[in-house]
Chain A
Amino acid sequence: MLDEHTVANLPRTAICRFFTMSAKLNALVSDSYVDVSQYRDQHFKGNRYDQEKLLKQSHTLYVGNLSFYSTEDQVHDIFSKSGDVKRIVIGLDKVKKTACGFCFVEYYTRTGAENAMRFINGTRLDDRIIRTDWDAGFKEGRQYGRGKSGGQVRDEYRQDYDPARGGYGKLAQQHRPTEANNSF
């Protein structure tokens, strides 16, 4: 099991404080999967500096591209592989209060979250490639989609058909004749 306990016991490159006679090699400490992305939550209350600080210390991940049918159980199982999970908050449609394809996963330790970024981000859950990103921390209200129709913004404008995410994008749905309109 690729949990943090196993990973923690992998031989580590000891680029550590004991060594005054050798250098910490910047060129070698690449850990790109853990780096903070370009995305910044526009609703974050505080300045950019605070936000980035929180992201760099965070134990919480945003998880996106989930199927609407993915359950907390599934999320818990896969994310437990990199560490003990403290809490999961499933993202909800603001109007319907049903799952709308994202969630937050909070770990007890930073290492658990980092290993999820390294090894679970970009792999599949419910046959979809899921994406994880650092989150500044869950606050009440952030579990709701911010799209006009109640779900996530990305589901407002997309043109493709995705059966696991409510079919067509919301805008596209408005332009399509519905079953009701066609039957007499």
Chain B
Amino acid sequence: MSRRRHSDSDNEGGQAHKRRRTSEPIEIEDRLESLICRVGEKSTSSLESNLEGLAGVLEADLPNYKNKILRILCSVARILPEKLSVYTTLVGLLNARNYNFGGEFVEAMIRQLKETLKNNLYNEAVYLVRFLSDLVNCHVIAAPSMVAMFENFVSVTQEEDVPQVRSDWFVYVVLSCLPWVGKELYEKKDVEMDRLLSQIEGYLKGRAKTHVPMLQVWTAEKPHPQEEYLDCLWAQIQKLKKDRWQERHILRPYIAFDSVLCEALQHNLPPFTPPGHMPDAQYPMPRVIFRMFDYTDAPEGPVMPGSHSVERYVIEENLHCIIHTHWKERKTCAAQLLSYPGKNKIPLNYHIVELAQATEMLYMRLETMNTSCIDRLINWFSHHLSNFQFRWSWDDWSDCLTVDLEKPKPKFVKEVLEKSMRLSYHQRMVDIVPATFAALIPAEPLFKYKYEDESASSLPGYQASIIVGNAIKNRASNEEILTLLKDVPNPNQEDDDDEGESFNPLKIDVFLQTLLHLAAKSFSHSFSALGKFHEILKALTERDEGKLHILKVVYEAWKNHPQMIAVLVDKMIRTQIVDCAAVANWLFSQDMAHEFTRLFVWEILHSTIRKMNKHVQKIQQELEEAKDKLEKQQHKRVTSSDEEGQLEEQIDRLQEKVESAQSEQKNLFLVIFQRFIMLLTEHLVRCETGSVDISTPWYKNCIERLQQVFLMHHVTIQQYMGTLENLLFTAELDHHILAVYQQFCALQL
């Protein structure tokens, strides 16, 4: 014991010293990270004194931790855009104390900017450029070199044969920095800036705006126009220029340090050539600015800035940044949004959203609202209600009872009640709405058994249903049941017509109705039934007609419970009883025409497309992994030619699987678009010959559903543009339908 203690104390000094040395750097690095990330948050001291203090600490740590500090600062520039000017001020203070560090930081930022552009991270690149521009205000970067960078960006508009979205982005970046640095740049280089702005103006005048109708929430311009995002920003910058670049909203901590900062030496940005256009580049898609409140909606308190004031832009950017950073932490996000600096100067609630008022306004404008937006409103509103005991002033909306049920307002209420019922139960819906709303209440979600009782005894399948039902209850084997089903008469076949096995819809009808009836108790019961009798179901749906018919039977049995239909269809696709194309064909079939505008139909369609997409992705990933594995083994050269051969075989098989899956995926989209074209053309022709207005509620719904397919699956669809253009979206198509295709193309051109 004592010996150990003795040796301990002998080495104690040395070991403890060693321990301290190895753990300290990590602790210090964490501490630095924490200090830098937290500056600007609520504190007992002022922001200025915190920045001053932090600058001192970092300056002292520069000799040992320079690279770490550089990396942390580069990260916060990219990831914490809402604290932009806090960090630019910090960098300004550091540059004033250590000129070399300032230079190294600028170089690191330029390297980072190049990386983000190379990796298609355009949103983050905007933050980085904005950061650099604010560094001009902090005397870190010389104004003329910033102007030179902007000139290089704007010169992209002179490039030929590049997508419009590419030059759009470079113009956007320059304009989006001007609220921060416009004043300073104009003071130093007004001639060059004027030239820059006039170049931008020329470019904007010549831009194609084909994409705009597809992106607007409302088809009407009143009361709030939905401007194309670049047009809106240009108007805001023009107004800012007219106001002589006086911008009062942005937090500018560097002003307090002006005396220190103006003593600092500035750096020149190295000449920056925008990377050339690459075919696989994914520029951000254009946007339409969504606004629903203006100053008349917030009559009390601070005045809401107009839609062309630059404040509006800055505030919206900051709010976006907050959500972007904190979306995973809902409490923090909410707190950050509500404690937005400068909130006393603006009606913040209206910038974020005033819920009841917003709901009311959106309801009032349903008639011209895009169908996909109505979908989202339905889902949001029903979910919201379920968290607030379904309390709502339904009587305020009794105007929806006076119009045709297919019109947007009653349709919206109907769908909301249907969704709300899913989160509660039927009787609750009856209880929460006034009696006048009875027509809008959904049906009770009960199974409709065709062969329920004696009254069905005249139906051709009645006897068979009893036999099959008993067989299932008595746990007959699949073979036995298949044999029993052979005896089911075929309504499609003549008695003496002995062509062999022709498709017998009654078999499917009898079996599935009976099975689903026995399993109707819950989702789990039904899934269990589908699993247990998978063999039979596969046999019955071998052919396409079988697949189509099984979907029809499921619908007929569960038509009052669309949620059940959706989960059963999902299961049947996953267990390969039906394929995705069959589901698409079924949804577009004549039998489903009367349900065509109901939300559940589109939920099933999009869910089907997503499953198809995920399936393709999964196999592609398996292929990539196998290829990687082969490459690794080839590098190591440790495998036998046998193993390599096996891997190569596997890769070939997977390659085939990928191609077959992609072919199925392409076919699915072809089916869907083809059916859309047929339905729309039929409608348009009918209206034309009857000299009737084409704009019925059905037509608006259908054409917007077509747009929705393009927008929701644009990444996948872009792979098949060639085929779509050659086979379907040709010049012979009615221009109403072709316009949708052209709008879609415009999003990436």
* Interface flags, B413-428, vs A, CB<8A=1, else 0: 0000000001111000
* Interface flags, B363-380, vs A, CB<8A=1, else 0: 000000000000110010
Complex CA gap A114/B567 in Å reads 22
How many residues in A have their beta carbons less than 8 Å from beta carbons of B?
A: 42
6 additional contacts, CB 8 Å, given A19-B75, A28-B80? A5-B610, A11-B123, A21-B112, A71-B522, A81-B383, A124-B387
Known: A27-B34, A74-B423, A127-B389. A21 touches B329 (CB 8 A): no
Known: A13-B325, A23-B71, A30-B332. A74 touches B112 (CB 8 A): no
Contact of A11 among B74, B324, B375, B379 (CB under 8 A): B324
Determine whether the beta carbon of B330 is less than 8 Å from that of A33. yes
Q: Give the most central of B76, B115, B328, B522: most A CB within 10 Å.
A: B328
Q: Give the most central of A11, A32, A126: most B CB within 10 Å.
A: A11
Determine whether the beta carbon of B123 is less than 8 Å from that of A18. no
* Interface flags, B106-144, vs A, CB<8A=1, else 0: 001001100100010101100000000000000000000
Closest to B284 in A: A11
B37 within 8 Å of A (CB atoms): yes
Complex CA gap A104/B716 in Å reads 33
Complex CA gap A23/B610 in Å reads 35
B633 within 8 Å of A (CB atoms): no
Chain A residues whose CB sits within 8 angstroms of the CB of B424 once the complex forms: 74, 126
Chain A residues whose CB sits within 8 angstroms of the CB of B30 once the complex forms: 26
Distance (whole angstroms) from the CB of B745 to the closest CB of chain A: 21
Determine whether the beta carbon of B328 is less than 8 Å from that of A21. no
Query: 3 closest pairs, A vs B, by CB?
Result: A22-B75, A23-B71, A27-B37
Q: B-contacting residues of A (Cβ < 8 Å)? A: 1, 5, 7, 10-11, 13-15, 18-19, 21-28, 30-34, 71-74, 76-78, 81, 84, 88-90, 118-119, 123-127
Complex CA gap A15/B74 in Å reads 12
B392 within 8 Å of A (CB atoms): no
Distance (whole angstroms) from the CB of B83 to the closest CB of chain A: 11
Closest to B610 in A: A5
Chain A residues whose CB sits within 8 angstroms of the CB of B567 once the complex forms: 76
Distance (whole angstroms) from the CB of A127 to the closest CB of chain B: 6
Chain B residues whose CB sits within 8 angstroms of the CB of A73 once the complex forms: 422, 445, 522-523, 563-564
Determine whether the beta carbon of B389 is less than 8 Å from that of A34. no
Chain A residues whose CB sits within 8 angstroms of the CB of B115 once the complex forms: 18-19, 21
B703 within 8 Å of A (CB atoms): no
Known: A27-B34, A31-B329, A78-B423. A13 touches B324 (CB 8 A): yes
Complex CA gap A125/B121 in Å reads 39
Contact of A15 among B79, B108, B423 (CB under 8 A): B79
Distance (whole angstroms) from the CB of A84 to the closest CB of chain B: 8
Complex CA gap A77/B567 in Å reads 10
Determine whether the beta carbon of B423 is less than 8 Å from that of A27. no
Complex CA gap A89/B423 in Å reads 18
Known: A25-B75, A26-B33. A123 touches B563 (CB 8 A): no
Distance (whole angstroms) from the CB of B33 to the closest CB of chain A: 5
CB-defined A-B contacts under 8 Å, sample of 20:
A10-B324, A13-B324, A15-B75, A19-B75, A22-B74, A23-B71, A23-B75, A26-B30, A27-B38, A30-B328, A71-B522, A72-B524, A73-B523, A74-B423, A76-B523, A77-B422, A81-B383, A84-B607, A125-B423, A126-B424
Complex CA gap A124/B327 in Å reads 20
Chain A residues whose CB sits within 8 angstroms of the CB of B728 once the complex forms: none
Closest to A118 in B: B328
B68 within 8 Å of A (CB atoms): yes
Chain B interface bracket (under 10, 10 to 19, 20 to 34, 35 or more):
35 or more
Complex CA gap A31/B290 in Å reads 29
Closest to A75 in B: B523
Interface of chain B: mostly helix, strand, loop or mixed = helix
Complex CA gap A90/B527 in Å reads 14
Determine whether the beta carbon of B329 is less than 8 Å from that of A14. no
Give the residues from 696 to 732 in chain B that come closer than 8 angstroms, CB to CB, to chain A: none
Q: A-contacting residues of B (Cβ < 8 Å)? A: 30, 33-34, 37-38, 68, 70-72, 74-76, 78-80, 108, 111-112, 115, 119, 121, 123-124, 324-325, 327-330, 332, 375-376, 379, 383, 386-387, 389, 422-425, 445, 522-524, 563-564, 567, 570, 607, 610
Complex CA gap A32/B329 in Å reads 7
Complex CA gap A26/B71 in Å reads 13
Chain B residues whose CB sits within 8 angstroms of the CB of A33 once the complex forms: 328-330
Contact of A27 among B33, B375, B422, B610 (CB under 8 A): B33
Distance (whole angstroms) from the CB of B570 to the closest CB of chain A: 8
Complex CA gap A77/B423 in Å reads 7
Determine whether the beta carbon of B71 is less than 8 Å from that of A21. yes
Chain B residues whose CB sits within 8 angstroms of the CB of A78 once the complex forms: 383, 386, 423
Determine whether the beta carbon of A21 is less than 8 Å from that of B423. no
Chain A residues whose CB sits within 8 angstroms of the CB of B325 once the complex forms: 13, 28
Determine whether the beta carbon of B71 is less than 8 Å from that of A74. no
Known: A73-B523, A123-B387. A21 touches B34 (CB 8 A): no
Contact of B386 among A72, A76, A125 (CB under 8 A): A125
Closest to A76 in B: B523
Known: A30-B329, A73-B523, A74-B424. A13 touches B79 (CB 8 A): yes
Distance (whole angstroms) from the CB of A125 to the closest CB of chain B: 7
Chain A residues whose CB sits within 8 angstroms of the CB of B387 once the complex forms: 123-124
Known: A13-B325, A28-B79, A72-B522. A22 touches B563 (CB 8 A): no
Determine whether the beta carbon of B524 is less than 8 Å from that of A22. no
Contact of A22 among B38, B112, B376, B523 (CB under 8 A): B112
Known: A14-B124, A73-B523, A76-B523. A21 touches B108 (CB 8 A): yes
Q: Give the most central of B72, B327, B423, B610: most A CB within 10 Å.
A: B423
Closest to A26 in B: B33
Contact of A23 among B38, B72, B570 (CB under 8 A): B72
Known: A28-B37, A77-B563. A21 touches B74 (CB 8 A): yes
Closest to B112 in A: A21
Chain B residues whose CB sits within 8 angstroms of the CB of A13 once the complex forms: 79, 324-325
Known: A21-B111, A23-B75. A76 touches B563 (CB 8 A): yes
Chain B residues whose CB sits within 8 angstroms of the CB of A18 once the complex forms: 115, 119
Known: A22-B78, A74-B422. A119 touches B330 (CB 8 A): yes
Complex CA gap A26/B33 in Å reads 8
Closest to B107 in A: A21
Distance (whole angstroms) from the CB of B481 to the closest CB of chain A: 26
Distance (whole angstroms) from the CB of A106 to the closest CB of chain B: 12
Q: Give the most central of B70, B74, B325, B422: most A CB within 10 Å.
A: B422
Complex CA gap A8/B393 in Å reads 35
Closest to A25 in B: B75
Complex CA gap A136/B123 in Å reads 38
Chain A residues whose CB sits within 8 angstroms of the CB of B71 once the complex forms: 21-23
Determine whether the beta carbon of A1 is less than 8 Å from that of B330. no
Distance (whole angstroms) from the CB of A172 to the closest CB of chain B: 27
Chain A residues whose CB sits within 8 angstroms of the CB of B121 once the complex forms: 14
Chain B residues whose CB sits within 8 angstroms of the CB of A25 once the complex forms: 33, 37, 72, 75-76, 79
Known: A74-B422, A74-B423, A76-B567. A19 touches B112 (CB 8 A): yes
Determine whether the beta carbon of A34 is less than 8 Å from that of B328. yes
Complex CA gap A26/B27 in Å reads 13
Chain A residues whose CB sits within 8 angstroms of the CB of B563 once the complex forms: 73, 76-77
Q: Give the most central of B68, B376, B522: most A CB within 10 Å.
A: B522
Chain B residues whose CB sits within 8 angstroms of the CB of A30 once the complex forms: 328-329, 332
Determine whether the beta carbon of A23 is less than 8 Å from that of B68. yes
Complex CA gap A13/B37 in Å reads 15
Chain B residues whose CB sits within 8 angstroms of the CB of A15 once the complex forms: 75, 79
Complex CA gap A22/B114 in Å reads 13
Known: A21-B74, A22-B78, A76-B523. A10 touches B37 (CB 8 A): no
Complex CA gap A42/B30 in Å reads 36
Complex CA gap A28/B106 in Å reads 23
